[in-house]
Amino acid sequence: MTELSQTALLHELEPVVAKNLDRHLSMAKEWFPHEYVPWSEGRTFDGPLGGEAWSEGDSTLPEVARTALIVNLLTEDNLPSYHHQIASLFGPDGAWGTWVGRWTAEEGRHGTAIRDYLTVTRSVDPVALERARMVHMTAGYTNSHDSSMLRSLAYVSFQELATRISHRNTGRITGDPVCEALLSRVAADENLHMVFYRNLLGAALEVAPDQTMRAIAEVLEDFQMPGVGIEGFTRKSVTIALAGIYDLRQHRDDVVAPVLRQWDVFNVAGLGAEGEAARDRIAAHLGGLEQAASRFEEKRDARAAKLAARA
Ligand SMILES: [Fe+2]
Ligand SMILES: [Fe+2]
């Protein structure tokens, strides 16, 4: 089967983008970051204004919540890199271009809101946060899907859902209803983003089934969260997984499996040999994830039991 070029795919999917853009705009609720930040709790910091420096005791959030918030915020901060990637792939024209702009504007709100909250509530060290942002954004973000629209669409379908879950669960463990409300609001946006990309890739499965199936397989086999470039990411992601904010079980059961189910991947008809082979890889990957998730859960349980015994 001949492959569709990027240009042909853009053209084929344009009406689907237009329809889902309309859907998105009708579903998305306007909201204002400033309404989610408890400004009256804020105090001037040291430096040019001569206020009080941040100290460890200022933060009332659990350590793990702070770690997750920093990872989530730095992830949002790399928006220029993500914009560059999708703007390069989708182009500035028509519904594609409108989506790129709208999506970017919505994502921009997330970083603004979370940073304002963290700064006003003195939840994290603002100097360390700013330094981490400089390092992270200077490095920027690229992934191995930059050159392929289908791989990028598959990646963001999973990634937006992963981000939704991560924000929502982070909110829950902060123990702060204000933060939880903010992160639930952000998570609701991420869910709509996921639906947009998921619908688009679902249409691609009809237009170019073999090519799209291969893209899904490749993305799953090589999946990394967009925060992977954050300093100490491995250590931080273990902390986040141990706290049940985002772990392999959630990745498999709440992200990968439901998206595959929505695409009805295992019942797509009319695949050629290449598509069938890709689908087998997807099934094998799911099996591998199941094993890895169970292993992780056993280890986490054993660790919890050991800690409980010590206490
Ligand atoms: Fe976001
Ligand atoms: Fe998003």
- The ligand that comes nearest to the alpha carbon of residue 74 is 1
Please say whether the beta carbons of 43 and 122 come within 8 A. Answer: yes
State both tokens at 297: 């859960």
User: What distance in angstroms lies between residue 167's CA and the mean position of ligand 1's atoms?
Assistant: 9
| Distance in Å, CA 107 to ligand 1 centroid | 5
Tell me the C-alpha to C-alpha distance, in Å, between residue 302 and each of 296, 299, 305: 10, 5, 5
Q: Which ligand is nearest to the CA of 189?
A: 2
pLDDT at 258 over 90: yes
% the chain with pLDDT above 90: 93
CA of 76 to the centre of ligand 1 (A): 5
pLDDT in the model for residue 146: 83
Structure-token pair, residue 47: 């430096």
pTM of the model: 0.96
Residues 152-189: pLDDT tens digits? Answer: 999 999 999 999 999 999 999 999 999 999 999 999 99
Distance 231 CA to ligand 2 centre (A): 22
The rounded distance, in Å, linking the Cα atoms of 83 and 77 is 11
In this structure, what DSSP letter does residue 92 have? S
Q: How many Cβ atoms are within 10 Å of 128's Cβ, its own excluded?
A: 11
Per the structure block, which two tokens stand in for 10? 């853009």
Smallest-distance ligand from the CA of 159: 2
111: CA distance to ligand 1 center in Å? 7
Q: What is the 218 CA–ligand 2 centroid distance (Å)?
A: 21
Q: Which ligand is nearest to the CA of 161?
A: 2
The candidate with the shortest Cα–Cα distance to 206, out of 271, 158, 250, 291, is: 271
In angstroms, rounded to a whole number, what is the distance separating the alpha carbons of residues 300 and 241?
A: 9
pLDDT in tens, 292-311: 999 999 999 999 999 999 98
pLDDT in tens, 70-128: 999 999 999 999 999 999 999 999 999 999 999 999 999 999 999 999 999 999 999 99
Rounded to the nearest whole angstrom, what is the distance from the C-alpha of residue 108 to the centroid of ligand 1?
Answer: 7
Does 2 have pLDDT greater than 90?
Answer: no
The ligand whose atoms approach the alpha carbon of 28 most closely is: 2
**How close is the Cα of 262 to the center of ligand 2, in Å?**
19
Task: Give CA–CA dist 189/205, Å, rounded.
Answer: 25
Q: How much is the average pLDDT of 257-267?
A: 98
- Give the tokens for residue 304: 């919890």
Cα 104 to ligand 2 centroid, rounded to whole Å: 9
pLDDT digits (tens, 9 = 90+) for 215-239: 999 999 999 988 888 989 999 999 9
pLDDT (tens digit per residue) in 196-219: 999 999 999 999 999 999 999 999
Query: What's the pLDDT at 1?
Result: 59
| Ligand 2 geometric centre to CA of 30 (Å) | 15
Distance from Cα 214 to the centre of ligand 2, integer Å: 24
Separation of 254 CA from ligand 2 center, angstroms?
Answer: 16
H/E element holding 118? Answer: helix 94-120
- List of residues 6+ apart from 310 with CB closer than 8 A: none
Is 65 a residue whose pLDDT tops 90?
yes
Determine the Cα–Cα distance for residues 138 and 10; give it in Å rounded to an integer. Answer: 31
Please give the angle made by the CA atoms of 81, 87 and 93, to the nearest 5 degrees: 165
Ligand 2 centroid from CA 188, angstroms = 9
